[in-house]
Amino acid sequence: MEPIIELKKADIYQREVLVLENVDLTINKGEFLYVIGKVGSGKSSLLKTFYNELPLESGKGIVAGFQLEKIKPKEVPFLRRKLGIVFQDFQLLTDRTVYQNLEFVLKATGWYQEKAIKERIGEVLSLVDMNGSASKMPHRLSGGEQQRVVIARALLNNPEIILADEPTGNLDPETSEALMRLLVEINREGKTIVMATHDYMMIQQFPARKLICENHKITEAAIDNEEIDFEALLDG
C-alpha cells in the first residue's frame, strides 16, 4: 500500500487552542476513510490541516507529496490542486450559474482555453449526473443537486484526494444515500476519500475504515460498527 497522507506526532491547533495532540496516522492511496466524533472534536480541524488551512505547528506531515511542516505559502495552491474539497454548506457562488461556478475554479487554477474548459465541465457534470443543470442558478437546485455540483467542482482538476466535511449534513436520508453511493463510486475509480461525519446511518450503511476524534486524540476503530457506541460518540 502506498501512503498518500501521513501525520507523525502532530499537534493541531485551532485559534491557538490545542484540538488534537500527538496524532499519528497513515492513509493509503485509494482508501475510503471516515473521521468521526462529536461536534467540536477536531474532525474539521484535521481536514483543514491536510489542505493547510491550519498550518502544522509541531510534528511532521505529508499530503500528496507535500511536507506540511516545511510547505511555503507559494506552494500551498499546488498542494490544493491535488485535493478536492466538499463542504457541508456548499459554498457555491450564488450570483453565477453552475457552469460559471465551475468555470471560475478552472480559470483560477490556470485553465485558459475555452474549449478545454467546456469539455472538462461537461465531463464532471456527467460524472455526477447533472448534465442538464449547467445553466441553472444554485438557488434553483435542491440541496442534493447543489452537493453534486460541489462534488463536480472538487473533481475538476482530477485531484488525488477528496476531503469531504460533513457532506450529508444538510441532506435528507434518501438524498444522503444517493450522495454516498456517488462518493463510493468515485472511490472505486481510484480516488482517496476522507470524510468527516457524524451521520450514523451512512456509517452503518457504507462500512469503511474509521478514525475517532475524542478527548483530543485520534484512535482507530474496527470496521465492525458493533464495537462503537455511536450514541455516546456522535451525539451533540
Percent of the chain with pLDDT over 70: 93
Residue 116 domain-assigned (yes or no)? yes
| Residue owning grid cell 468555470 | 103
Residue 88 domain-assigned (yes or no)? no
Q: Identify whether residues 56 and 113 lie together within a single domain.
A: no
pLDDT for the residue numbered 230: 56
Q: Identify whether residues 14 and 77 lie together within a single domain.
A: yes
Local confidence pLDDT in tens for the 236 residues of the chain: 899 999 999 999 988 899 999 999 999 999 999 999 988 899 999 999 999 999 998 999 999 999 999 999 999 989 999 999 998 776 899 999 999 999 999 998 888 999 999 999 999 999 999 989 999 999 999 988 998 999 999 999 999 999 999 988 888 888 889 989 999 999 999 999 999 998 888 899 999 999 999 999 999 986 565 555 655 655 55
Residue 90 domain-assigned (yes or no)? no
By CB atoms closer than 10 A (0-12, 13-18, 19+), residue 150 is buried
Residue 87 domain-assigned (yes or no)? no
Closest CA to 64 of 43, 85, 78, 47: 78
Residue 89 domain-assigned (yes or no)? no
pLDDT for the residue numbered 232: 60
Q: Identify whether residues 49 and 147 lie together within a single domain.
A: no
Residue 148 domain-assigned (yes or no)? yes
Over residues 25-56, the pLDDT tens digits come to 999 999 999 999 988 899 999 999 999 999 99
Torsion, Cα 42 10 27 207, to 10 degrees, reads -30
Q: Are 21 and 7 in contact (CB under 8 A)?
A: no
- Maximum Cα interatomic distance, the chain, rounded to a whole number of Å: 52
Q: Identify whether residues 136 and 175 lie together within a single domain.
A: no
Q: Identify whether residues 215 and 151 lie together within a single domain.
A: no
Closest CA to 86 of 182, 153, 172: 153
CA distance 112 to 127: 22
pLDDT for the residue numbered 57: 86
Q: What is the CATH number of the domain that holds 27?
A: 3.40.50.300
Q: Identify whether residues 230 and 167 lie together within a single domain.
A: yes
Q: What is the 3-state secondary structure (H, E, C) of 161-219?
A: EEEEECCCCCCCHHHHHHHHHHHHHHHHCCCEEEEEECCHHHHHHCCCEEEEEECCEEE
Residue 78 domain-assigned (yes or no)? yes
Question: Which of 141, 158, 175 finishes a domain?
Answer: 158
Residue 146 domain-assigned (yes or no)? yes
Its domain, for residue 228, covers 3-82+160-234
Domain count of the fold of the chain: 2
pLDDT for the residue numbered 208: 94
CA distance 169 to 197: 8
Which residues fall within 8 angstroms of residue 183, CB to CB, at 6 or more apart? 32, 151, 162, 164, 167, 193, 195
Beta strands, E only, the chain: 3-14, 17-28, 32-36, 58-63, 66-67, 83-87, 161-165, 192-197, 209-214, 217-221
